[in-house]
Amino acid sequence: MPPTPAPPNTGRRVRRTPMLVAALTGTVAVVLAAFWLARYGGSSAQPSYGSPAAVHGRTSPAPHVMADVNIVNFRFTPAEVTVKAGTTIRWTNKGYVPHTVNFTDGAVNSGVLNNGNQFTHTFTTPGTYPYLCHIHPFMHGTVVVTP
């Protein structure tokens, strides 16, 4: 059956009104949603602004932070290093005499480091870590680990 031609004007008006109401309701809903987003979406976006900063703060110690101590001329250079927890210290024997890195508390022992040998240790706990060369006990060094 072919579509009946639209009835005269009166019929159209009757049909338009609900559509207009629906359109208005939709517009109001969109405006309300926009307001809601502006107010609550905005405030909930702020924590997500904060979290990248928090992540950034967390990642800065995480990527391996290294500090170097060279062993030259029967000295640990620098003799004292202050690092943040999570830092790895790398000792390198740049001399031609074997040396060691021995924590005074006995917790860490590098073994003999010959020329060019390296020893690394990651410090996770804040504190003061004195060490010496077992072969030359007059060689002292200290690692200070801050939180």
Which residues lie near Cu ion (CB under 5 A)?
99, 133, 135-136, 139
Least distance in angstroms from the C-beta of 139 to Cu ion: 5
Least distance in angstroms from the C-beta of 75 to Cu ion: 9
Nearer to Cu ion, 133 or 143 (CB): 133
Whole-angstrom distance, CA of residue 123 vs CA of residue 131:
13
Nearer to Cu ion, 87 or 139 (CB): 139
The answer to whether the beta carbons of residues 92 and 68 sit under 8 Å apart is yes
Nearer to Cu ion, 49 or 138 (CB): 138
Least distance in angstroms from the C-beta of 115 to Cu ion: 12
Contacts of 22 (CB under 8 A, 6+ apart): none
Q: What is the spatial order of strands in the sheet that 80-84 belongs to?
A: 80-84, 140-146, 127-132, 102-103
